[in-house]
Chain A
Amino acid sequence: MRFSEAKNHPVVGTGSADTVGKVKSFVVDAAQARVVALVLAKAAGKADTLLWEDITSFGPDAVTVSSADRLVEPAGELAVLVDKKHAVLGKRVLTDAGDGLGEVKDVEFDPAGGAIRTLLTSGGEVAAWQLIALGSYALMVRTA
């Protein structure tokens, strides 16, 4: 599944059948090439972040979660990754040889486990094994 398809997916609490929010953005740990959390829009309180391990299922039409209590306010390392400076979409891509590959346009990921498969950039595709780190300036990737 792609980030562009999964964005705005409703997030539904299975206990109450209520909508607890909708997918606003994806929190990525580039070093592990994984989606580690989702940030939701229209969450009721200040807690708007859903850790990947707290998701019940990432389905084709909705994300399910046991209840709205699962939502957290990001703190610590997660807060750093949630920071806008570390948003992956639109991020500049640089190789370890210092050459630019454009910007991240979309990300193909595995909805079952959260693993990133491929990044689509304006300069072409980048495979998951190439990812090094996501910084304030650029997403660093190994030269293919």
Chain B
Amino acid sequence: MRVTEVVARPVVTLRGDDVAQVKDVVYGGDSGAVAGFTLAGRGLLSGPMKEGLPWEGVLALGRDAVIIADESVLQPRKTVVARGEARRGDALGSQVLTDGGVELGRVVDVVVEVGRSAGVVGYEIDPTEAIGRDNKRVLIPLPDTLAVSGERLIVPAETVDFVTDDLAGFGAAVDEFRTRLRRSAAQGGQQA
């Protein structure tokens, strides 16, 4: 699921009470991950809330709601937003470059795993001609760890082989990609 789809979804506790709705996604640039969400009240007239939802407080991101254990996982909004900024801001708009020096495109959205374990698994990018898909947006899987600066993130050259435009089959592509990276890392170790 694209993380921006979560915006405006209700935040519901396991007791079945809706305590907020998602206002915005807070991106943590350095890890390429999502730091959390800012929240708004549930009423028509209610504005932004003083509390934010840190990523670790999320039990599940579903089609219809974001599930949390209870209200105690909420933290002051400033704390959640500051964690994003401390990691040098926003993954969105960043240039994606392979370690082979090929520019793949720019990040337009973050793809997260849904269901009961939530995690960041890839990016949606506006591709360059290097990928050659008529400038249609594509999905790239994310390795377990990657280098990110304010304006750029470096991905392994193998990423090119796993570019897809199919969100439904993306989970399998991520698993395969990460397995292959681990295998080539192990082989590299033997040669050295």
Show the binding face of A for B, using Cβ within 8 Å.
Answer: 30, 94-100, 132-140, 143
Known: A137-B10, A143-B116. A99 touches B63 (CB 8 A): yes
Shortest CB–CB separation between residue B7 and chain A, in angstroms? 14
Q: How far is the CA of A99 from the CA of B10 in the complex (A)?
A: 12
We find that the number of chain B residues with CB closer than 8 angstroms to chain A is 20
CA distance A136 to B16 in the complex (A): 6
Given A94-B64, A99-B62, A99-B63, A138 and B14 contact (CB-CB distance below 8 Å):
no
Can you name 22 A-B residue pairings with CB atoms under 8 Å? A94-B12, A94-B16, A96-B60, A97-B114, A98-B61, A98-B62, A98-B63, A98-B64, A98-B65, A99-B62, A100-B63, A100-B65, A132-B14, A133-B14, A133-B16, A135-B13, A135-B15, A135-B16, A137-B12, A137-B18, A138-B16, A139-B16
CA gap between A136 and B65 in the complex, in Å:
14
State the Cβ distance, A74 to closest chain B Cβ, in Å.
20
Chain A neighbourhood of B65, CB < 8 A: 94, 98, 100, 138
Known: A99-B63, A140-B14. 20 other contacts (CB 8 A): A30-B16, A95-B62, A96-B14, A97-B60, A97-B62, A97-B116, A98-B65, A99-B64, A100-B63, A132-B14, A133-B14, A135-B16, A135-B18, A136-B16, A136-B18, A137-B10, A137-B17, A137-B18, A139-B16, A140-B16
User: Counting CB contacts under 8 A, is B101 at the interface?
Assistant: no
- The distance from the CB of A134 to the nearest CB of chain B, in whole angstroms, is 6
**B→A interface (CB under 8 Å):** 10, 12-18, 59-67, 114-116
- The CA of A133 and the CA of B13, in the complex, are separated in Å by 10
**By the criterion CB–CB under 8 Å, are A137 and B16 in contact?**
yes
Chain A residues closer than 8 Å to B59, beta-carbon distance: 96
Instruction: Pick from B15, B16, B18, B60: contact of A98, CB below 8 A.
Output: B60
Inter-chain CA distance A137–B15, complex, in Å, is 9
